[in-house]
Amino acid sequence: MSPGQNTFATNKRITMRWLPLVWFVSVTAQAQTPTPMKHASLSLRNDQVEIHYTEAGAGDVTLLFVHGWCINRNYWTETMAAFADEHQVMAIDLPGFGESTAKRTQYTMAEYAEDILAFADEKALEKVVLVAHSMAGDIMLEIAQRGNPNIIGLIGVDNFKFVDVALSPEQLAQFQTLFGAMAQDFATGAPAYADQLLFLPESPKDVRQRVMDDFAKANPAVAMSASQDFAQYGARYPQLLSQLELPLGLVNSDGVPNNLQALETYCQAGVKLYPIHGTGHYPMVENPAQFQEGLREIVAWVLK
């Protein structure tokens, strides 16, 4: 073998030896590439509302994620990335929270419903599955009341737990004390409310702190206006759930029991619950993997 041939053979052996590593690095890099997310804003309702939103993916069906009280669209980022290969995914900031704004003083669930429908109309969304966390479940009921044909699926996240459930005097007193503290000093009282009522002892500390920080930074006037409105929905759940023409899917923590029997009584179009074990009120960020598994099952169910 000539020196040139020997060098070629040696280089070939080295190259073949490193090929598996090159392949592994390439695949790993691709797997770790974050899903491209587009951030934009829309002026809606005669320029009275400015909605900031994030979107990714593509497809006929849009999963429209709506956050709960005093948080923002970023709580859906991991979930959106998990579903962007299958559907178009969008998450909005409700006006008064996150980056979205509105020229109004009353922040009711009915007004939020109009905001979301205006957003869907402006974006020309024709097959929308709402994924609504906490307070946004009440907004979702308001949207369902309007019978918009472009809304084809309803999914709640950790909501509708207290249907036909009477709170004890001790629970009522605790709520009254905490909300009274918020009315006096929201930046202190709101995080205390989250800390005491919205988590389990085993909830991740970073998630707990994130929520408490977001509560502390929320606009007190907006937050209190919204809470005063959504507080009256519990008594209306039997009526509003009975009027649903679409089945209701739920991905709920079991940290607070779910009254599935009552839900099955009222949701005449059907209801399916996927329970998440060992999380507080924010399963999408407390246990993303299990939440995404549950949401995938529920999405398939509402679309069947």
Report yes or no: 117 and 52 within 8 Å, Cβ to Cβ.
no
45: three-class secondary structure by DSSP = coil
pLDDT tens digits, one per residue of 57-97:
999 999 999 999 999 999 999 999 999 999 999 999 999 99
Tokens of 228: 């005063």
Report yes or no: 131 and 66 within 8 Å, Cβ to Cβ.
yes
Looking at residue 24, what is its pLDDT? 44
Residues 6+ apart with CB under 8 A from 240: 141, 144, 145, 233
Q: How confident is the model at residue 134 (pLDDT cuts 50, 70, 90)?
A: very high
pLDDT tens digits, one per residue of 173-224:
887 888 888 989 999 999 999 999 999 999 999 999 999 999 999 999 999 9
Looking at residue 23, what is its pLDDT? 45
Tokens of 51: 């909605």
Largest Cα span, the chain: 94
Q: What is the mean pLDDT of residues 149-160?
A: 98
Q: How confident is the model at residue 239 (pLDDT cuts 50, 70, 90)?
A: very high
Burial class (CB in 10 A: 0-12, 13-18, 19+), 157: buried
Q: How confident is the model at residue 27 (pLDDT cuts 50, 70, 90)?
A: very low
Calculate Rg over the CA atoms of the chain: 23
* Number of CB atoms found within 10 A of residue 6's CB: 10
Given a cut of 90, whether residue 16 has pLDDT beyond it is no
Instruction: Quote the CA–CA distance of 67 and 118 in Å, as a whole number.
Output: 17
Instruction: Quote the CA–CA distance of 273 and 89 in Å, as a whole number.
Output: 22
Looking at residue 51, what is its pLDDT? 99
Find where tokens 């939103």 sit. 53
Looking at residue 1, what is its pLDDT? 52
Report yes or no: 164 and 154 within 8 Å, Cβ to Cβ.
no
- Look at the alpha carbons of 160, 161, 164, 168 in this order and tell me if their dihedral is positive or negative: negative
Residues 6+ apart with CB under 8 A from 133: 65, 66, 67, 68, 71, 75, 156, 157, 158, 159, 282, 284
Pairing of strands 151-157, 128-133: parallel
Tokens of 115: 């905001």
Give the DSSP H/E element, type plus range, for residue 46: none
Tokens of 290: 């299990």
Give the DSSP H/E element, type plus range, for residue 156: strand 151-157
Please tell me the pTM assigned to this model.
0.88
Most confident of 11-15, 123-127, 178-182: 123-127
